């Protein structure tokens, strides 16, 4: 794959960089105006992933075929360790203002494209306006875990395996998938 490729996804023209750039293994080309933002986001996400790994290694390993109770206990144990280690965590620790602005621009590009109305509808298919995520809290149990539209995933940086993007209404959430906790979130992700 070349450092820059142009390709069309459902009629939406996107400029991308090689996969190693988005997951932090390479630096973006100097000509990319968002390079510093992507590098900073990758640094923050990878620092969180390193902390996660360090803490998870202190827990007893799950058996080869764990029961649902063992999985839940492991999740809760990791959640407690992460909350203790990140006791002062707040919104914006990973998704700083420049990173939030970049994410909003990327999402807006998708929503302005031909698939935009369908993508928006898929994100807002559940009425979760009253649900507000909290840093270091479990993903709200009373709402389904949303699926991420692939068009959105293609324009956002790849995450370490411990994290996933999710939507709760118009909020983009960084979710720790091993502990099921909210790491950070972006309000008004569907607005520029």
Half-sphere exposure of 77 (CA within 13 A, CB side): 14
| Mean confidence (pLDDT) of the chain | 84
Q: 83-104 pLDDT, tens per residue? A: 999 999 999 999 999 999 999 9
With bands split at pLDDT 50, 70 and 90, how would you rate the model's confidence at 74? very high
Q: 12-37 pLDDT, tens per residue? A: 334 444 455 455 555 655 667 788 99
In this predicted structure, the answer to whether residue 47 has a pLDDT above a threshold of 70 is yes
With bands split at pLDDT 50, 70 and 90, how would you rate the model's confidence at 126? confident
Residue 9: its pLDDT value, please? Answer: 37
- Give me the residue spans of the domains in the chain: 35-60+67-186
Q: 145-186 pLDDT, tens per residue? A: 778 999 999 999 999 999 999 998 889 999 999 999 999 999
Overall residue count recorded for the chain in this entry:
192
In this predicted structure, the answer to whether residue 56 has a pLDDT above a threshold of 80 is yes
């Amino acid at each position: 794959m070349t450092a820059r490729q142009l390709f069309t996804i459902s009629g939406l023209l996107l400029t991308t960089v090689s996969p190693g750039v988005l997951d932090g293994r390479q630096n973006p080309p100097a000509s990319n105006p968002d390079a510093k933002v992507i590098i900073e986001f990758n640094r923050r996400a990878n620092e969180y992933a390193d902390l996660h790994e360090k803490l998870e290694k202190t827990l007893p390993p799950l058996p080869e075929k764990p029961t649902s109770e063992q999985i839940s206990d492991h999740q809760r144990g990791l959640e407690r360790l992460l909350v203790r280690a990140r006791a002062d965590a707040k919104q914006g620790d990973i998704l700083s203002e420049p990173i939030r602005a970049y994410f909003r621009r990327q999402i807006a590009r998708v929503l302005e494209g031909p698939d935009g109305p369908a993508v928006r509808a898929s994100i807002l298919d559940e009425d979760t306006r009253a649900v507000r995520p909290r840093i270091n809290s479990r993903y709200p149990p009373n709402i389904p875990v949303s699926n991420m539209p692939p068009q959105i995933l293609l324009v956002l940086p790849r995450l370490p395996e411990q994290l996933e993007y999710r939507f709760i209404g118009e909020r983009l959430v960084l979710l720790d998938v091993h502990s099921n906790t909210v790491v950070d979130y972006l309000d008004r992700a569907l607005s520029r």
